[in-house]
Structure 1
């Protein structure tokens, strides 16, 4: 796997509006920030509006955080578990998101929300679209940390065959423009181990919510 990851192109255009930046993120720097963020707003498995518990454990940092409530999905300035504001997005996170977006052709991206998602072996993320943001002219920037996963790209409508994109530690995928509202998900995560965080994959998803 190490040889394979070293041989991959640094930048790949997957389709119009979707760019993969391989080994773009220094994940040691990111991991140093995460314990403080999760100490302020711990991971939790939210309930969908239909009452089902999500598989992926998550939290947020930034001026806004994405939450699920009985009335639906929305962004809020306060962590519903504590009533406190979400922790600030660290400078290293902001810099990474801005530089990744610029590499993909989206200059000027400044996220106001960062979702922190934790996957363990056996967890998957069903196909969905990110549509709770007020301004969809800005892209989604997604960063992989830890064990590998397979990102699944579909089209602008639900269903069909997925395009499978293996993601490894440090990979960043950016999608926006004509691909901003594509359906996407994560295939069931296979068992593996990262020397720093064990059998986990952490995903940072940067968005411009408002």
Structure 2
């Protein structure tokens, strides 16, 4: 999915039988509900492809979570989703679409060396990281109501962009007071290209 797709919170239509089902991106205001069913799916799919065989195995091992995720992302009742599951090929297409459109959640970015330790240290310092993330975006000009309407992918992209902007501002404040070696070190620490 490209940046404009994420930023505009678009959905995709999946042909299933004689109808078309709209699959949506998860939005921040319902992220907690989504995560409760999606986390076991994410764990199962870690480092796996979305082949038909893998997705069939996913449904066999985590049927309740898959049904809940699809209900959440499509707005369709469980009974109707169970009916759709009878046609395995179409049902697999629906699962694949839900995973693909929500790839920012299901596919982790590669971690930098030492990232696990840094994340644990930040987690110890922060009791409310979501509020901190929201406040950071608010300080960059976003409003709470618009953040809650963002897709998770757009939320991540805006947060990354805001961090880059913040880091550039920090660099431009401190770099003039440093020698070349200090500037290079600061660039590396702030991850500025």
TM-score (norm 2): 0.29
More strand by share: 1
More helix by share: 2
